[in-house]
Amino acid sequence: MGDLWLQDSGIYHPVNVKTGIVGAEGQPNLVSLKKVFSAIMARQIDSYYLLIVKMDISAKGIAPSVCLIDMLDWLDYVTFDSGPGQMMLRAVKFFAEFDPTKVKTLDIKSKAQRLMELYEDGERRLKENRERDLQHYRHEFRDFLAGKNFRVTPETQRSLILQ
């Protein structure tokens, strides 16, 4: 769950280390939502830290920037995809708006509530996407069955870009 664990007053806190280049796009995977949620429910953790190291590479050299945050206090910058079950950092938005002086430290029940909301939303979107995919393939299958012949030709393979 954590790349490393930090101890404070006899309690260990998971830390996920993320590295990257300043200006890079994307949504890096953070951790399984179910894993974090289950650990909170079992009263094993009350935080999930991200140690983020970003490198600004230029002609002048390499300038690192480092921040350590409790991801559970920054869930407005996290998205969840219920297919793979991973939470991901909305990195572009996070770094554009990140201000460590404006952290809203949440109590554990608020953190758990927000995780539950992310989970429910992810499950809702997954069901919608799966239903849309099922309808699409049913339509494709009906068209296939309605066809008079089945032949693979150079024209039908053109989209494969084999040459």
Decide: residue 14, CB within 10 A, 0-12 exposed, 13-18 middle, 19+ buried: buried
Superfamily covering domain 4-124: DNA mismatch repair MutH/Restriction endonuclease, type II (3.40.600.10)
Q: How far apart are CA 6 and CA 17, in angstroms?
A: 12
Q: How far apart are CA 86 and CA 30, in angstroms?
A: 7
Sorted by where each begins, the domain ranges of the chain are: 4-124
Q: How does pLDDT run across 38-92, given as a tens digit for each residue?
A: 999 999 999 999 999 999 999 999 999 999 999 999 999 999 999 999 999 999 8
Q: How does pLDDT run across 102-146, given as a tens digit for each residue?
A: 888 899 999 999 999 999 999 999 999 999 999 999 999 999 999
One-letter amino acid at 9 equals S
Mean pLDDT, rounded, for 94-109: 90
β strands within the chain, DSSP E: 4-8, 11-21, 29-32, 49-58, 61-70, 78-81, 86-89
Decide: residue 72, CB within 10 A, 0-12 exposed, 13-18 middle, 19+ buried: buried
Is pTM beyond 0.95? Reply is no
